[in-house]
Chains A and B, each alone.
Chain A
């Protein structure tokens, strides 16, 4: 018996040096699985930084399964709620695990799931989370990291063609070009002590923004964050830039919002509470301070935020909150930090073995009035300078059913509700059903929950998902979603409906060979392009796609092949198609600390509806999911070199070449002459 325990444990610990590499590999694959699909559906830029950093942090401070709480396990996005519940129930009923491979005894886990978790978990007695922190421990065991990153496009964009210095006769105030040079650069400093203390400073300048000139001096964006966990009676204290995520996200959720992906059972947001914000994204965070206080089975959180946001203000009003974070042109600089936003909020959550319930309240106040230019689609959008929102959420476990939901309401009595149930009748099958209703009048600042679009507003729908393990090494996942927009939306001038479904079959032939087939169908409605129409007319637009993905590794080499095709059809128009094929090769030397990733990709997407998104490996903390349409190819080379134990370099060179006789790419200031676009990235990391 002892050997049965000791042997796997030894394997686990002997493999520890490889865990960091495996963690990055798992994170890369998770990002590819989730964000590739999310980028295709979302209208907004996804913030990967925080997601990636949280997982890296988790791999450096693995979770002890025997002491983990629900919040701890929710840090792993590839775990479903059912899996989390089953782990907690297993430890509660059967006592502490001796080895992570006991996960095989828990319903809902197969070897693929367990291998994916390995870099982030362990089993053991664990330390005292409330142990006092001494300064000497901070100095001795604290980790410092400094990052510097530089990006540049080799082709000159239109926005850089004439700078004020070059054309002395052009008044600065009328120039529409970029005020700064073509380089993006950023610097980040991080300090962390285990999972108790995390502090950091970031500064960033986007390409085109002025670094040192007449309009601006220094970086365009600065961020500071500090998070302290388990300090005295406080479960968490945050200061600087932070996020707040409670319940199902109908009131507050400014982390990554879940959508429809091949992780079909992951439909609920994670109730992670207050967390540090360390991303370079210049929006979607709070700036101030907050805390979470635990008393018995209650967690009480409160926070205050006061920050400036961008808006084109005029006479005390502004039409929309600008979220790009770009301040490159005089017009964009005029809108920088023009509106003051104050937010005060709180949450009370009760948790016991089978029930979690909570209440969230938030009040937002602006010093200028938000007044959108009214049209049909935004008739009900929020306008004013203050808003209050409150919501009640719950999680209830009953027999094999896990119910969840949240209902929220604004001060104007506009309602949104999401409710669902997870269901694991036998170990081979897991099911989820989710219903959502977001009234057209419900429009809040920081809500993010399960929805077809990125806005929690004007939508009602029913989603059903299932995962089946019919045979060894096989997994089937499928979802079906039927939804309706009861009021017009942007680009759809009438109430509309839509549906989509996905079926994916995963086959893990061996530990080093795996593949999946993914079929997806979606049908939405869109405006007919008919300027003479008296009444709004919408027609269905359908897209069907099929993707095959094969990954395999031998020795120092690993390979990935992707083949994807789609067909798109707008009512009254002909079918159009898209095809893409891609070959990835990765190579890491054992005797020399160098890792190489190379890709060649071909694409042919006839129309914009046939476009593809494809996740690419990149320098650390940089994320590429570029969009392709047209005819052409893309290739890149990504290098990682660890010069010493403390100093690492990343370098990426990528180029897209179009073969459809185009003479320029992009529009406005982003336009480039010719048919090529080349990007170079460099990142240096120093640990001390």
Chain B
């Protein structure tokens, strides 16, 4: 009897893995957006603890196009400046088009503690254009992140966006802002090959589970493969090119119903 109950409970738990993540937060450079534990590649508005890892200043821009519709694209820019005691990151993201758009600006601080763990906090200002009142309305949203290396080959990451569930209220509408909790793991089978998993939970949506592999094929070329479940099973494929100073990431996701999502990100690393 116990076995039957355990089986049924496990099946029901596994059955409920579906979710959506907000469009204002750009998908990350990591395959299948498994960025919460990606210590090698910080993406704007993903885990702020990752701001603590770069040891040289980095400037990056990102463009994400959803379902080949320009109106649904997200553009972002980020800058990371490391110092001896703390790293500082500035991020900006724009979603939408002239008749409707949202913007997110963030200032983050993080520190890497001898590559054992890193902690970060980011203060974001969200603003959106409301046509009813013909004005912009905004709110401040905090973001916290943590990354821990349990061993040299295995790390876990955790982050939360808008943990206090702040919303925007106007005379006519209440715009609910996403409140997201993420946890993930990264397992390094070798220096060149990593497997990451991530579980996201947006407060009023179901879970999203993602997994992905990234492999450094040769010194300058990386290939990526992954998938995530958000109501539909979405396979992901990507590539990365690294010349030492420049890093280019290209990711594609194939939604079975809505079509192709693409993301292109380029980063410049100052100094050698």
Contact = CB atoms under 8 A, between A and B. Distances in A.
Interface of A: 399-401, 423, 425-426, 428-429, 431, 433, 461-464, 466, 468, 480-484, 497, 499-501, 519, 521, 542, 544-546, 563, 565-567, 577, 579
Given A464-B227, A482-B254, A546-B10, A400 B232 contact: no
B225 A433 contact: yes
Interface in B1-57: 3-4, 7-8, 10-12, 14-15
B103 to A, nearest CB: 33
Given A399-B218, A546-B7, 12 more contacts: A423-B223, A425-B190, A425-B213, A426-B190, A429-B193, A429-B195, A464-B235, A482-B254, A501-B233, A546-B10, A566-B11, A567-B15
A428 B189 contact: yes
Nearest to B7: A565
A546 B6 CA distance: 11
Interface string B188-227: 0110110100000000000000000101011000010111
A433 B233 CA distance: 14
Given A497-B256, A563-B3, A425 B189 contact: yes
B184 to A, nearest CB: 17
B180 interface: no
Interface string B116-144: 00000000000000000000000000000
A462 B254 contact: yes
Interface in B221-253: 223, 225-227, 229, 232-235, 237
B15 A521 contact: yes
A544 B193 contact: no
A431 B213 contact: yes
A482 B233 contact: yes
Contacts of A428: 189
B217 A399 contact: yes
Contact residues of A: prevailing secondary structure: strand
B69 interface: no
Nearest to A481: B233
B213 A429 contact: yes
Contact of B232 (A431, A461, A497): A497
B11 A546 contact: yes
Nearest to B255: A482
Given A428-B189, A480-B227, A565-B8, A466 B213 contact: yes
A399 B12 CA distance: 42
A466 B187 CA distance: 15
B252 to A, nearest CB: 10
Nearest to A503: B14
A429 B189 contact: yes
Nearest to A479: B227
Contact residues of B: prevailing secondary structure: strand
A480 B211 CA distance: 11
A260 to B, nearest CB: 13
Contacts of A500: 233
B193 A499 contact: no
A480 B217 contact: no
B11 A483 contact: no
Contact of A426 (B189, B229, B254): B189
B99 interface: no
Contacts of A497: 232, 256-257
Contacts of B190: 425-426
Contacts of B3: 563
18 contacts: A399-B217, A401-B217, A425-B190, A425-B193, A425-B215, A426-B189, A466-B213, A480-B233, A481-B233, A482-B232, A482-B233, A497-B232, A497-B256, A499-B232, A499-B256, A544-B11, A567-B11, A567-B12
B15 A433 contact: no
A468 B232 CA distance: 25
A433 B190 CA distance: 21
A561 B3 CA distance: 14
Interface string B149-187: 000000000000000000000000000000000000000
Nearest to A545: B11
A328 B213 CA distance: 55
B257 A544 contact: no
Given A429-B193, A431-B213, A482-B233, A565 B11 contact: yes
A426 B193 contact: yes
Ordered nearest first, which 4 A-B pairs have the shortest CB separation? A499-B233, A482-B233, A462-B235, A425-B215
Contacts of A519: 10, 14
A427 to B, nearest CB: 9
A565 B4 contact: yes
A633 to B, nearest CB: 17
A468 B195 CA distance: 10
B225 A400 contact: no
A545 B14 CA distance: 11
Nearest to A463: B235
A521 B12 CA distance: 11
A430 to B, nearest CB: 11
A32 to B, nearest CB: 21
Contacts of A521: 14-15
A483 B189 contact: no
A425 B187 CA distance: 14
A425 B14 CA distance: 29
Contacts of A577: 8
Nearest to A501: B233
Contacts of A567: 8, 11-12, 15
Contact of B192 (A425, A468, A501): A425
A482 B225 contact: no
Contacts of B233: 480-482, 499-501
Given A399-B217, A542-B15, A433 B189 contact: no
B4 A400 contact: no
B225 A431 contact: yes
Contacts of A426: 189-190, 192-193
B217 to A, nearest CB: 6
Contacts of B229: 499
B96 to A, nearest CB: 28
A400 B222 CA distance: 12
Contacts of A499: 229, 232-233, 256
A444 B44 CA distance: 50
Q: Taking each of B3, B237, B256, which has the highest tally of chain A beta carbons within 10 Å of its own beta carbon?
A: B256
